[in-house]
Structures are given as structure tokens and as C-alpha cells.
Amino acid sequence: MTWDNRVDTPDGASYLAMTNVGGPILGMYFRVLVPERSRVEGVFGGSLAPVSDPAVVEDEAGRMAIGTYLMIPPGQTTLGNTWTSPYAASIDEAGGTYRLTIQKQPGSLPGPLTLRIQVPDGYRITAASAGLTVNGATATMTVTFDRDLVLGVQYAPVSAQ
């Protein structure tokens, strides 16, 4: 995710004029909900105060929540999360299916989203949702994130050609 703090532009003048605002740096608490028993691989980003670990990892409503505090100074600040989800796909000897739902948060503005789905070693993607670009074992997508997305891939062993 990338945020654009425009407080130092004419558009942000009214924000800086508010007496209860602590200055041009915005604060954000960002959470990602992923399947239960997922393993956090990395958190990265931040421009003024780089982040490399989540602040919180906890269970919530049958999912794992990864929470990160982020300072957003004037300009752009990016935050990325990577994780591995066990049992996120249905799989048997013939192959598997992976489905992903990404929900837009109410009130959030549209912004860029880059997604990469990597299937297990020894498998290749055989079918993918519209909008995903497939290259062997990887499907990618870059879109303007302005609505919920439901995506999926089907994959089979490389030897099953």
C-alpha cells in the first residue's frame, strides 16, 4: 500500500491550520487479515521511520491479524506485508485451487495494488481469474484498488502436461 500525504501542498493548508493537529506527519495503524496459522515473512516500508516487523500479530474472528504502526510524512510512504498461509489452497495429486479475497476498507480512497501469487515448487498455473498475468508458477496483477477483489488460480504438477 502507498499513501500520499499532500499536507505540504495547497490542498493540505486547511489541515495544517487546525490547532489540534500535531504537524505535517500523519499516523496510521494498518492491519492485514490473513488465514489462520499463517507465518509472517516480512513487513517493510516507511520513509521517515522504516518498519521491518509488525507491531501486533493476533487472532481475530478466525483469521490472523497483522498490525503495523506507520508514520506518513509529506510525500509518499509505502508499506508491504508478505506471509505464507498453510492450507490456504485445496490440493490433491491432480493439482490445486487457491482463492483470495481482498476487501476494500470503507472510506479508503482508491490506490495502487500490486499482487503476486506463487504456487508451490513443482507446480504451474493452469487457469487464473481475469486480470491476472500468468508466467509459469506465478500470477501477478497491478490495479487501482477501488473495490473488493475475488481472485483465484488453479494449478497442476509440472509433470502433468
Question: Is 122 found in the same domain as 79?
Answer: no
Confidence (pLDDT) at 160: 60
Chain segment 115-127, per-residue pLDDT in tens: 999 998 899 999 9
- Give the residue from 45, 64, 85 where a domain finishes: 85
**CATH code for position 106:** 2.60.40.290
Question: What cell numbers appear for 8 in the block?
Answer: 505540504
- Give the residue from 50, 85, 120 where a domain finishes: 85
Is the confidence at residue 158, as pLDDT, over 60? yes
Question: Is 77 found in the same domain as 16?
Answer: yes
- Give the residue from 35, 50, 85 where a domain finishes: 85
Please give the Cα distance from 28 to 31 (Å, whole number): 10
> Other CB atoms closer than 10 Å to residue 127's CB: what's the count?
14
Among 106, 109, 100, 105, residue whose Cα is nearest residue 129: 100
Question: Is 57 found in the same domain as 7?
Answer: yes
Chain segment 49-89, per-residue pLDDT in tens: 899 999 999 999 888 999 999 999 998 999 999 988 877 77
What's the predicted TM-score (pTM) here? 0.68
Question: Is 161 found in the same domain as 97?
Answer: yes
Question: Is 157 found in the same domain as 92?
Answer: yes
Question: Is 74 found in the same domain as 6?
Answer: yes
Which residues, at least 6 apart from 13, have a Cβ–Cβ distance to it below 8 Å? none
Chain segment 128-143, per-residue pLDDT in tens: 999 999 999 999 999 9
Question: Is 101 found in the same domain as 69?
Answer: no
Confidence (pLDDT) at 22: 66
> Other CB atoms closer than 10 Å to residue 110's CB: what's the count?
11
Which residues, at least 6 apart from 95, have a Cβ–Cβ distance to it below 8 Å? 123, 126, 154, 155, 156, 157, 160
Q: How many domains does the chain have?
A: 2
Q: Which domain holds residue 116?
A: 88-161
Question: Is 161 found in the same domain as 95?
Answer: yes
Q: What is the mean pLDDT of residues 90-117?
A: 85
Chain segment 2-60, per-residue pLDDT in tens: 888 888 888 888 877 777 766 788 888 999 888 888 999 999 999 888 999 999 999 99
Please give the Cα distance from 87 to 98 (Å, whole number): 10
Question: Is 7 found in the same domain as 70?
Answer: yes
Q: What is the mean pLDDT of residues 81-105?
A: 84
Is the confidence at residue 161, as pLDDT, over 60? no
Question: Is 20 found in the same domain as 67?
Answer: yes
pLDDT category at 103 given cuts 50, 70, 90 is: confident
Query: CA 156 from chain center: how many Å?
Result: 25
Question: Is 73 found in the same domain as 131?
Answer: no
